[in-house]
Structure 1
Amino acid sequence: MPRSIPQGPSRRLLLAGALAAVSAAVTGCSSDSEASSSGGSKRLRIGYFAFPSGDLIVKNRKLLEKALPDYKITWIKFDSGASVNQAFLGKSLDIAALGSSPFARGISGSSPIPYKVAFILDVAGENEALVARKGAGISDVAGLKGKTVATPFASTSHYSLLAALEGAGLKPSDVKLVDLQPQAIIAAWQRKDIDAAYVWLPTLDELRESGTQLTSSKEIGAGGKPTLDLAVVSDELIAKDPKAIDTWRKVEAEALELLKSDPDGAVEAVAAELSISKADAKAQLAQGVFLTPDEVASADWLGTDGSPGKLLTYVSDTARFLADQKQIDAAPSEDAVRKAFYLKGLPDVLK
């Protein structure tokens, strides 16, 4: 809902709605999940985004199902990190894709969400960007003053938008920020209800057709505020089934390898999952930054067991920025961020 409206549903009602949607998704995908769980078969509930990444290759090629044939695996699609956070609060997920900004939010506060980052899916590049509608009279970020700008709140795009505004000498109050999910952004754009939007693929490409790109997450990252698509696992799964986490990380690493060793196959899988042409899938994949498994577990990124990488600094910096922007009450300590990393087995489990 727009930030300018102080009244609205309580967090409890929002959470209930989100959990109801998650429950419906799980039921729709697997009506016998409860029965199989009670019958002794283990299950994994995995949250994902319809976003070009190795995650979609794992899903499309059923890499995890083949590696864990005795498990009941359910894939649940989400539109934003905020809803993923709500689902983890309701214990409706075991593993999920999650942006670095909503992750920083999730581990902040007196009651952090019980999950930990265990993998890096990709680094945001040109696949997230700020686009102004042609005809709105906006040629640069500074030109957004007094304009209506949409983004999914509590997302990496929201974080990058705030960073872009700050870089242009604007405060969030200098623009009218509107909280919209990707599909709602398209509708608002077509009605000319909004002047600009910061969002990710594939919605982003639709906006580019009738808009002007002002900046991207690649540029903002180069300026010191990178964002990433992470993968998190619940504390409960870590305690109960760490071997399943190792297997999941191994197939995610395989997908990263396939992006480079079999680009045509990767394109085909992503095109099938997003119901787009191979040409579009290829173009969208080209806009992301995908690490190799060795890079994921390197000191430059996630790190290894006992030695967190630079992601620790990136998440800490993100949380401090969000606190400075009054998006969260206070940033977590570095020790709290460190405890939100699950690095056991790295780098060996990726081989």
Structure 2
Amino acid sequence: MSRVSPGPSRRLLLAGALATVSAAVTGCSSDSSAASSGGSRQLRIGYFAFPSGDLIVKRRKLLEQALPGYKISWIKFDSGAGVNQAFIGKSLDIAALGSSPFARGVSGSSPVPYKVAFILDVAGENEALVARKQTGITDVAGLKGRTIATPFASTSHYSLLAALEQAGLKASDVKLIDLQPQPILAAWQRGDIDAAYVRLPTLDELRQTGTQLTSSKEIGAAGKPTLDLAVVSDELIARAPKVIDTWRSVQAQALRLLKSDPDGAVEDVSAELGISTADAKAQLAQGVFRTPEQVTSADWLGTDGSPGKLLTYVTDTAQFLAGQNQIDAAPSEAVVRKAFYLKGLPDVLK
């Protein structure tokens, strides 16, 4: 079983992710064979097998069509810790990344060399805390002394810590297990764990024999929202800023397609995840997808020269993680601001 720890440091989390990242970058996804090669005319894109506009971009090859001169590799990851390590190893150009691992990444004396450039979605009912029905647990407070699994250094981990705090529990009051989604399902089925905080599609499988105790939607409404962001490497910003504009443009197109072509979006997600269209539709309905105009509003990412509330969300997340001894110290808002790449917004989305 994976390691147990009430409060891993960022250094340990990144080191622990090294093996996972190495596997991911060299072939975790069937279409990632070119990921480890260099070259200015290639893009290495990190993504999650999770219902979002990212899967629409991938399935419809929107980026390939917009950048015909580039060799584009899509590399699948299971957690934000792996994405962070891959950027440190200069193995990614662009990637999806949760707001909590992003807050970790911009903390410390050697921040990860990337910047947030877009918001993909806001966590809703698609990420939640579920207890096995056999335990008889019906609320978060009932988890005291129990074993809970979650991918460390992820948005699920952050939301779990927030849920425990809201219920009057400390991380030390429970036994936290660091597991990725598929191992969580296996541990659940064996009865090795009492509860898990995880996202779709694993979450839906746990719900079949579990009781949902809270969700990221509820935790966000209580003041600790989590989001899936798009981050870009500092090297790509220096080398090809127009490519980043194109990336954001196709992501904006995907967000519009979620509204204008919901049936087509369901088909895309169904094909990418290998699930039925009914399941894909249900999973998409649990997410919160903003329009491109909302993404660049003052309530979220903001625009060039005027960052939005995401700046406060990330700063607050880092402060919470520091208070939970998950990172050594929280960065100031000014430091977090330096990790925002807003040039060209909102015009490049039109």
- State the TM-score, normalized to the length of structure 1: 0.95
User: What residue in structure 1 maps to residue 24 of structure 2?
Assistant: 22
1:182–1:314: structure 2 CA closer, same or farther, 3 Å change rule? same
Instruction: Output the amino acid matched with 1:162.
Output: L
On the 8 A contact 2:125/2:217 being kept in 1, the answer is yes
User: What residue in structure 2 maps to residue 86 of structure 1?
Assistant: 85
Q: Deviations over 1:54-74 (max 9, x none)?
A: 000000000000000000000
Distance 1:151 1:249 in 2: 30
User: What residue in structure 1 maps to residue 238 of structure 2?
Assistant: 239
Distance 1:34 1:288 in 2: 32
Q: SS at 1:75's partner residue?
A: strand
Instruction: Output the amino acid matched with 1:224.
Output: G
Distance 1:20 1:2 in 2: 19
On the 8 A contact 1:19/1:92 being kept in 2, the answer is no
On the 8 A contact 2:124/2:215 being kept in 1, the answer is yes
User: What residue in structure 1 maps to residue 302 of structure 2?
Assistant: 303
On the 8 A contact 2:43/2:70 being kept in 1, the answer is yes
Distance 2:28 2:242 in 1: 23
Distance 2:162 2:6 in 1: 23
Distance 1:239 1:161 in 2: 37
1:15–1:82: structure 2 CA closer, same or farther, 3 Å change rule? closer
1:30 CA drift (Å):
5.4
Instruction: Output the amino acid matched with 1:189.
Output: W
1:25 CA drift (Å):
1.8
Instruction: Output the amino acid matched with 2:117.
Output: A
1:288–1:12: structure 2 CA closer, same or farther, 3 Å change rule? closer
Distance 2:301 2:89 in 1: 27
On the 8 A contact 1:149/1:195 being kept in 2, the answer is yes
1:133 correspondence with 2:135: no
Distance 1:15 1:189 in 2: 22
User: What residue in structure 2 maps to residue 226 of structure 1?
Assistant: 225
Distance 2:345 2:94 in 1: 17
User: What residue in structure 2 maps to residue 287 of structure 1?
Assistant: 286
* Unaligned residue ranges in structure 2 (runs of 5+): none
- After TM superposition, the structure 1 = structure 2 runs for residues 38-187 of structure 1, keeping only pairs within 5 Å, are 42-187=41-186
Q: SS at 1:135's partner residue?
A: helix
Distance 1:137 1:31 in 2: 46
Q: Deviations over 1:135-170 (max 9, x none)?
A: 112110000001000000000000000000000000
Instruction: Output the amino acid matched with 2:262.
Output: P
1:24 CA drift (Å):
1.5
Measured on the aligned residues, the alpha-carbon RMSD in Å equals 2.0
Distance 2:243 2:140 in 1: 45
Distance 1:83 1:111 in 2: 17
Distance 1:63 1:204 in 2: 29
User: What residue in structure 2 maps to residue 271 of structure 1?
Assistant: 270
Distance 1:195 1:50 in 2: 25
- State the TM-score, normalized to the length of structure 2: 0.95
On the 8 A contact 1:183/1:203 being kept in 2, the answer is yes
1:83 CA drift (Å):
0.4
Distance 1:334 1:239 in 2: 23
Distance 2:314 2:229 in 1: 11
Distance 1:59 1:341 in 2: 24
1:6–1:212: structure 2 CA closer, same or farther, 3 Å change rule? closer
Instruction: Output the amino acid matched with 2:3.
Output: P
On the 8 A contact 2:47/2:76 being kept in 1, the answer is yes
Instruction: Output the amino acid matched with 2:302.
Output: G
On the 8 A contact 1:19/1:86 being kept in 2, the answer is yes
Q: SS at 1:213's partner residue?
A: strand
1:187–1:32: structure 2 CA closer, same or farther, 3 Å change rule? closer
User: What residue in structure 2 maps to residue 331 of structure 1?
Assistant: 330
Distance 1:295 1:180 in 2: 34
1:182–1:26: structure 2 CA closer, same or farther, 3 Å change rule? closer
User: What residue in structure 1 maps to residue 192 of structure 2?
Assistant: 193
1:6 CA drift (Å):
11
Alignment length, in residue pairs? 347
Distance 1:83 1:342 in 2: 22
1:31–1:180: structure 2 CA closer, same or farther, 3 Å change rule? closer
Q: Deviations over 1:162-218 (max 9, x none)?
A: 000000000000000100000000000000000000000000000000000000000
1:33–1:340: structure 2 CA closer, same or farther, 3 Å change rule? closer
Distance 2:6 2:308 in 1: 40
Instruction: Output the amino acid matched with 1:161.
Output: L
On the 8 A contact 2:13/2:152 being kept in 1, the answer is no
Distance 2:307 2:22 in 1: 36
Instruction: Output the amino acid matched with 1:69.
Output: P
1:3 correspondence with 2:20: no
